[in-house]
Each structure stands twice: as structure tokens, then as C-alpha cells.
């Protein structure tokens, strides 16, 4: 039986087995390929999306267990209307190969929603599960702090 899932504000009827990971629903059924597969075992964070604003590893959430509205990197902003965090990422030239970055941004956005003015320790604690083989961690931290400042000035 098809399962209804709301993704980036649009309701989708997904006719896949209950236990299919949300990651593959997003990428293969819906065509939202901004969310990446890294490890498949909750160890890298590349697949991070938000459900009701909470950062989750989409490789670990079964379709039947999706409890709320899903937001992916495609839903965070648009090329002509970027989210503040996305603009900060560009301004700080965070991405190198880019593979981990959608997961990094989705986790960072969830952090800022929960903790508008994070300390370095807050950032490190929140982001430690999002791995970057290119070592962009210093720029990630700088972009998060910059986005926090911009958001609290609004
Ligand atoms: S692919 Fe989900 S945490 Fe690595
Ligand atoms: S930018 Fe290459 S893995 Fe993070």
C-alpha cells in the first residue's frame, strides 16, 4: 500500500516496501539527489535531512517510520532565494569536493534552529557525526558562526 510522505512541502504517494530507507525514497523514487549516500550505517552524515526540523540520517529511517515533514537540501532554499546558511557556505567557500556538504548544511541548519548562537563547543558537538574527507571543518565552523550572526541580526 502506498505511503504518503510530505517532502519539501509537497505530498508524495510512495509505493515502496515499508522498510525502504528514506534516503532511497528521496533519491530513487522522488529524484532528489542532493542527499547523498556515504556509508549506509549512520557513520558519516552524508545522508542527513530534516524531519520536522530535526536532523536525521535518512539511511536509517524506514519509509514507514517517517513521522513528519521531510526537508532536504533542495527544500532549504532555491538558487534565486538561498537560505542564509547556504549563502554563508558560499561566502566562506566551504565546499571542496562537495559530497558531504548537503548533509553538513542540513545538520547545521537544524543546529541553528535549536541553538541560534552556538559556541564552538556547540558546533563541534552538533557536527561531529558529519564527516568530511576533504577536511573542510574550519570553514564549516566559520560559515555556521557567520550564518548565526546574520540570522540573529534579522
Ligand atoms: S549514508 Fe547515512 S550516515 Fe552515512
Ligand atoms: S567537501 Fe569533500 S567530503 Fe566534504
In this structure, the answer to whether residues 71 and 88 fall within a common structural domain is: no
98 within 8 A of 36, measured Cβ to Cβ? no
What CATH number does residue 17 fall under?
3.10.20.30
Residue to mutate (ligand 1; options 24, 27, 45, 101; most atoms within 8 A of CB):
45
Report which bound ligand comes closest to the CA of 45: 1
Q: Please state, in angstroms and rounded to a whole number, the distance separating the CA atoms of residues 149 and 142.
A: 11
> What was the pLDDT predicted at 27?
98
Span 135-149, mean pLDDT?
A: 98
pLDDT band at 47 (very low <50, low <70, confident <90, very high): very high
In this structure, the answer to whether residues 118 and 149 fall within a common structural domain is: yes
pLDDT band at 154 (very low <50, low <70, confident <90, very high): low
In this structure, the answer to whether residues 97 and 123 fall within a common structural domain is: yes
Q: Which helix (H) or strand (E) holds 7?
A: strand 3-7
Average pLDDT, the chain: 97
User: Which residues form the pocket of ligand 1, taking CB atoms under 6 Å from any ligand atom?
Assistant: 37-40, 42-47, 57, 59
**Residue 28: domain span:** 3-76
In this structure, the answer to whether residues 102 and 140 fall within a common structural domain is: yes
Indicate whether residue 133 lines ligand 2 (CB < 6 A). Answer: yes
> What was the pLDDT predicted at 78?
86
For ligand 2, the distance from its centroid to the CA atom of residue 118, given in whole angstroms, is 23
pTM, entire model = 0.97
Q: What is the dihedral of CA 91, 146, 78, 64, to 10 degrees?
A: 130
Domain boundary (76, 94, 128) is at 76
- The number of folded domains in the chain is 2
37 within 8 A of 59, measured Cβ to Cβ? yes
Amino acid at each position: 500500500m502506498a505511503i504518503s510522505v510530505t517532502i519539501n512541502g509537497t505530498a508524495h504517494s510512495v509505493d515502496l516496501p515499508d522498510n525502504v530507507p528514506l534516503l532511497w525514497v528521496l533519491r530513487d523514487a522522488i529524484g532528489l539527489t542532493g542527499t547523498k549516500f556515504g556509508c549506509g550505517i549512520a557513520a558519516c552524515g552524508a545522508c542527513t535531512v530534516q524531519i520536522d526540523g530535526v536532523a536525521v540520517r535518512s539511511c536509517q529511517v524506514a519509509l514507514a517510520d517517517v513521522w513528519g515533514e521531510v526537508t532536504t537540501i533542495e527544500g532549504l532554499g532555491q538558487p534565486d532565494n538561498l537560505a542564509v546558511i547556504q549563502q554563508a557556505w558560499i561566502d566562506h567557500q566551504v565546499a571542496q569536493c562537495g559530497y558531504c556538504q548537503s548533509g553538513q548544511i542540513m545538520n547545521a541548519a537544524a543546529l541553528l534552529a535549536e541553538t541560534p548562537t552556538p559556541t564552538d563547543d556547540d558546533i563541534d558537538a552538533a557536527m561531529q557525526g558529519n564527516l568530511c574527507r576533504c577536511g573542510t571543518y574550519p570553514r564549516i565552523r566559520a560559515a555556521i558562526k557567520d550564518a548565526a550572526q546574520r540570522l540573529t541580526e534579522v
